[in-house]
Amino acid sequence: MSDPYGRAALPEPRGPVSAMLREALRRAPHDLPAGPPVDFTGTDPLTDEDLQLTLFLCYELHYRGWQGVEDAWEWQPSLLAVRAIAERRFEEAIRRLAGSQPTVSPDDLPAALHRLTTDDEGPSLGEFLRRRGTLPQFREFLVHRSVYHLREADPHSWGIPRLGGPPKAALVEIQMDEYGNGQPHRMHAELFRTTIDRLGLDSRYGAHLDAVPAITLATNNAMSLFGLHRRLRGALVGHLAAFEMTSSLPNRRYGDALRRLGGDAAATRFFDEHVEADAVHEQIAVHDLCAGLVRQEPALTADVLFGAATVLALDDLFARHLLGAWAAGRSSLRSTASELVHLSAVVSSVPRAPVTARSS
């Protein structure tokens, strides 16, 4: 049996650049072929499958790496040059998407973050799943989320060595909770693994990369972009803050949705844990982490708001993708044939619970 914590298999390419890169990674580290400038065919970097997979291929080298790929590729100069081209297009796109943010003083940052997150009027994926989502749709949702949740907290941990003093302590406090406070079975990634195991899905790290579309990769690539660039440390902590500030209510709805669909306490524990934990994390992230950082470095205030606006905007696009696909009667996944056959086959295996009416 394969190691569920090991490296992911290289995903299939989605265009000429990711095909070139994937083929190169299967061999010993070497200079990538010189030639015409790297180009991507998609008009929107956020939905360009080739660009987003290229970034994900590069970024994963800084996490667990890929099966059969030598570790020395991580800092290979010509690979980093390809990554930089894709990153420039991606960062330009998310800055356009996030829009301009108001100029605020460091003292006003907490209030500005609260305005930003409470004014968000994007579609409620959690409410749809709670009220009307089907079991196959909920499984699709988990397939999308598995890309992040099976390595939950890792992208934001890049911020720890980039901070000092109270903000560093605040980030460590949040991350310790994410990692189960030293108890492996309480790690949030492990709780999620239990959830998808209970629903009959493959819980190996990176198992569903070929199935998810560019927008799902983009939500993950944004975290890696912020985490791997010291100049974007303000955006990284703003991203984490908005992530925590907008997590409790959706996770309550996801837990209720899964209970309605028959999930037992083991299946819903991941979502139930986030309802309580993220309410606490919100206060630490806003006041101790973000406000603490801009007290030290006032020039990062705008970056913090940019990072917060990015997670909200990307989550909005992600929700619209799923809800739009389901409204049209189709899957939200890319390669669905084998996935959906498996989903249908295991419906009867989900632990059943009484269906009860639940409030928002």
Residue 352 above 50 pLDDT? no
pTM: 0.92
**Tokens encoding 27:** 């061999």
Residue 272 above 60 pLDDT? yes
Percent of the chain with pLDDT over 70: 91
Residue 125 above 60 pLDDT? yes
Phi-psi sector, 153: left (phi>0), alpha (psi -120 to 50), beta? left
The pLDDT score that the predictor gives to residue 336 is: 52
User: What letter represents residue 129's amino acid?
Assistant: L
**Tokens encoding 282:** 């919100």
Residue 15 above 50 pLDDT? yes
The pLDDT score that the predictor gives to residue 157 is: 98
What CA–CA distance (Å, rounded) separates 291 from 109? 6
What CA–CA distance (Å, rounded) separates 27 from 36? 22
Helices 301-327, 109-118: crossing angle, 10 deg rounding: 10
Q: Over the Cα atoms of the chain, what is R_g?
A: 20
pLDDT digits (tens, 9 = 90+) for 89-104: 999 999 999 999 888 9
CA angle 229, 235, 241 (to 5 degrees): 130
Segment 26-47 mean pLDDT: 85
pLDDT digits (tens, 9 = 90+) for 104-113: 999 999 999 9
The pLDDT score that the predictor gives to residue 46 is: 97
Segment 287-316 mean pLDDT: 97
The pLDDT score that the predictor gives to residue 279 is: 81
pLDDT digits (tens, 9 = 90+) for 160-171: 999 999 999 999
Q: What is the 3-state secondary structure (H, E, C) of the chain?
A: CCCCCCCECCCCCCCHHHHHHHHHHCCCCCCCCCCCCCCCCCCCCCCCHHHHHHHHHHHHCCCCCECCCCHHHHHCHHHHHHHHHHHHHHHHHHHHHHCCCCCCCHHHHHHHHHHHHHCCCCCCHHHHHHHCCCHHHHHHHHHHHHHHHCCCCHHHHCCHHHCCHHHHHHHHHHHHHHCHHHCHHHCHHHHHHHHHHHCCCCCCCCCCCCCCCHHHHHHHHHHHHHHHCHHHHHHHHHHHHHHHHCCHHHHHHHHHHHHHCCCCHHHHHHHHHHHHHHHHHHHHHHHHHHHHHHHHCHHHHHHHHHHHHHHHHHHHHHHHHHHHHHHCCCCCCCCCHHHHHHHHHCHHHCCCCCCCCCCC
Domains of the chain: 16-96 (no CATH), 102-349 (1.20.910.10)
Phi-psi sector, 15: left (phi>0), alpha (psi -120 to 50), beta? left
User: Nearest CA to 30 among 70, 86, 58?
Assistant: 70
Residue 278 above 90 pLDDT? no
pLDDT-derived band at 282 (thresholds 50, 70, 90) equals very high
The pLDDT score that the predictor gives to residue 356 is: 30
| CA distances in angstroms from 297 to 117, 269, 303, listed in the order given | 23, 38, 11
The pLDDT score that the predictor gives to residue 101 is: 87
pLDDT digits (tens, 9 = 90+) for 55-97: 999 999 999 999 999 999 999 999 999 999 999 999 999 999 9
Residue 337 above 70 pLDDT? no
